[in-house]
């Protein structure tokens, strides 16, 4: 069993904890507004027959990738409602791209989110990827309940005091 975390250690290096170790929403009022961009990705693997349904547009529920694109955008817009300590952000752009990888029998999703603000849009990009992939699952689960999602990660972010981040190659 791990020893209890003292209040002074609880927030060490984590901005969502105060000096007593209690969760709080970070005060960003003193930060400058800058153009902030985040790019995230992930994938959903499936049976080849399921992928063909998506590719040909013959899935019973309709245009899987079209609906998933709208869902991803909606997910980015609703991130602050889903992740308790996220700030609601005025998004200026959300771009969703799907790529079919037949060799790996999967759909890859990339989302770029942007804002002019005091805090980053990494959570919005990551949430959008997750919601887009979950929508693909929902629309295809009647024919393939064994689909798996993975590789969800931040690829890059730009803007703000901490500058840019580029993920190492996977």
The strand ranges marked E within the chain are 34-45, 91-101, 106-117, 148-158, 165-166
- Positions marked catalytic: 138
Closest CA to 76 of 61, 63, 90, 94: 94
DSSP H helices, 62-117, are 64-77, 79-82
Which DSSP letter does residue 58 get? -
Could you give the CA distance from residue 68 to residue 73 in angstroms, rounded to a whole number?
A: 9
Q: How far apart, in Å, are the Cα atoms of 31 and each of 9, 18, 115, 117?
A: 25, 18, 14, 9
Question: Could you tell me if 99 and 107 are in contact, meaning their C-beta atoms sit under 8 angstroms apart?
Answer: yes
Report how far residue 115's alpha carbon sits from residue 117's, in angstroms, rounded to the nearest whole number: 6
């Amino acid at each position: 069993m791990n020893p209890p975390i003292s209040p002074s250690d609880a927030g060490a290096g984590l901005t969502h904890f105060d000096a007593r170790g209690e969760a709080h929403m970070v005060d960003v009022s003193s930060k400058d507004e800058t153009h902030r961009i985040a790019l995230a990705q992930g994938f959903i693997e499936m049976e080849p027959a399921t992928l063909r349904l998506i590719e040909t547009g013959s899935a019973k529920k309709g245009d899987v990738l079209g609906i998933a694109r709208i869902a991803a955008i909606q997910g980015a817009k609703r991130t602050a409602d889903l992740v308790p300590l996220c700030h609601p952000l005025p998004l200026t752009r959300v771009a969703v791209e799907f790529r079919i990888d037949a060799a790996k029998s999967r759909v890859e999703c990339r989302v770029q989110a942007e804002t002019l603000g005091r805090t980053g849009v990494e959570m919005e990009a990551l949430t959008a990827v997750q919601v887009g992939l979950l929508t693909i699952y929902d629309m295809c689960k009647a024919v393939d309940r064994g689909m798996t999602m993975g590789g969800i990660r931040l690829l890059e972010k730009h803007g703000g005091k901490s500058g840019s981040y580029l993920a190492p190659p996977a």
